[in-house]
Amino acid sequence: MANLPSPPLREFQKIPFDYPDLIGKLRRKGLTVGDSEYAAEQLKRIGYYRFVGYGLPFEEYNSRGQRTGVYASSANFQQIIALYDHDLRLRQVLLAALAEIEIGIRNLINHTLCIRTQKAHWFLDQTLFVESDKFKHSSFLNKIKLATSQSAELGSERQRLRDQFINHYYTNYDSPEFPPGWMIAEVLSLGSWSLLFQHFQESKTRKSISRQLDLSPPTLESWLHSLTYLRNLCAHHGRLAMRHLPLQPAGDKDLPRQKEPCLFNYFGVTWYLLKQFSGNTVWLDQLFDIVDEIDNAEGFYGIPNDWLEDEFWFK
């Protein structure tokens, strides 16, 4: 079949509106706003475009699932603000857990490789890795150069801002050209360690790491990939409510999960790994306190009403 021509593109002609006009627009779409001054303050805090994104589940849809351009008769401005604030708190509590997991993962991988190879600079050995379209050893070393500001000139602003322990290495040593693994571990992201784990040449290396978490290598690979996605989403203030999250973590360890992709499926993975690396026993309470305040948590995030009845959370 011949390719049909693409429809002609249109010129974007929307013009910006000030807050009173934006509030009027929301009202014309059927949203109960109430206090206009309060609404303007919230739109200044959040932004109209972001507010509308959180308002999507409060709109009406036709039989084909398409937006009708109006809000449900029961929808009001405060409901959307409440969802936004709960979403914000969820991101914060998830980021706190992911920070501890990231520190644990990078130390686990670095320490394991240091001991297995008996080399502080194990990451320089290209034979430890298999390359792919996603991972090139030379690109990885370039990433380290950027993360350590290795090329910073003495006395430059980049050199001044460099981490003290990195500065100490470059001030006292000129070989090897990179700091040791335990220093590199402090500056590389969770995504970098996820890629490293995925591209270790020997399966024994991957097994040695994952076994310390009582996981299989495929499970740990999936979880690291998924949590990197979640971490980036939260760190960049992405909306979690009513969002299709494509990188769902693999099911394992009898973790509670929903069949459909949703945020809830990340909770068990986060809690499992947090317990492996941290003595943080209050995180689950913090998560529960937020979820307990959310109306329709299952609809927004896939969190079942009886989620804490699963014994997994208290093992």
State the average pLDDT over residues 59-66: 88
181, 110 in Cβ contact below 8 A?
yes
88, 161 in Cβ contact below 8 A?
no
State the average pLDDT over residues 29-57: 95
State the average pLDDT over residues 189-208: 96
Q: How far, in Å, CA of 28 to CA of 69, rounded?
A: 10
**For 151-161, how does the pLDDT look when each residue is reduced to its tens digit (9 = 90+)?**
545 555 545 54
State the average pLDDT over residues 103-115: 97
DSSP string, 103-154: HHHHHHHHHHHHHHHT-TTGGG-GGGB---SS--HHHHHHHHHHHHTTTPPT
Domain regions of the chain by residue span: 19-75, 85-139+190-314
Taking the CA of residue 93 as centre, how many other CA atoms within 13 Å lie in the half-sphere pointing to its CB? 22
pTM equals 0.88
